[in-house]
Amino acid sequence: MLRRWWIVLLSLVVITTWLVKSIDNKLTIIPENNIAIPDYTLKKFSTTRMDEFGKLKNQLTADNMIHYPKINTSITNPTMVFYKDTHPLWTVQAENGEVSPEAEQLWLLGATTLQQHTQKPVKIISQDLWIRIDTEYAYTDSPTTIISSFGEIKSTGMRIFMPVEQIELFSQVRGRYVLK
């Protein structure tokens, strides 16, 4: 009789172990490598960078930020201001954007506006702009409109070297100048 109970008990242990293992396997969700899981989010955030002498270099603000540990961070309504001698030199705004994991590159997605803050200001309207933050270099292949007190220029694609205030237009350049 004891032998039968022993077999029944051993059978129950085996069945219970099997059930627990099968339930654990069904409940365990292993994320795929291509699924992005944010590790934190921020609302109404601002980040400031200084140069090696402690002077204000640039400042990035956005309505929302979703940070991912190993891929680009997503931002909504970003505004980035680049400074020269503590004075704003360029302000760049977009609908959405992404920041590289090392925060060295910025992609501004959708409608993008660049405003130069000089004695003769320049406004640039484009979309999908890529910025190399440390060298203050910007690039786009998209249609671009440059508006200044001298007139208006349209092109397809451009690049900007912000520190030296140089703009290069790529193709299909058309302009209208006003002489004063």
Contacts of 13 (CB under 8 A, 6+ apart): none
How many Å apart are CA 61 and CA 80, to the nearest integer? 6
**Can you give the C-alpha Rg of the chain in angstroms?**
28
pLDDT (average), residues 6-14: 68
Model pTM score: 0.76
Q: Are 107 and 92 in contact (CB under 8 A)?
A: no
Query: How remote is the C-alpha of 97 from its chain's centroid?
Result: 4
Confidence (pLDDT) at 160: 95
Q: Is the pLDDT of residue 20 over 70?
A: no
What are 36-89's pLDDT values in tens digits? Answer: 788 889 999 999 999 888 899 999 999 999 998 888 899 999 999 999 888 999
The string of DSSP letters for 39-69 reads SEEEEEEEEEEE-TTS-EEEEEEEEEEEE-S
CATH superfamily for 40-177 is Lipopolysaccharide (LPS) transport protein A like domain (2.60.450.10)
Q: In 3-state terms, the chain is what percent helix, strand and coil (to 5)?
A: 15, 60, 25
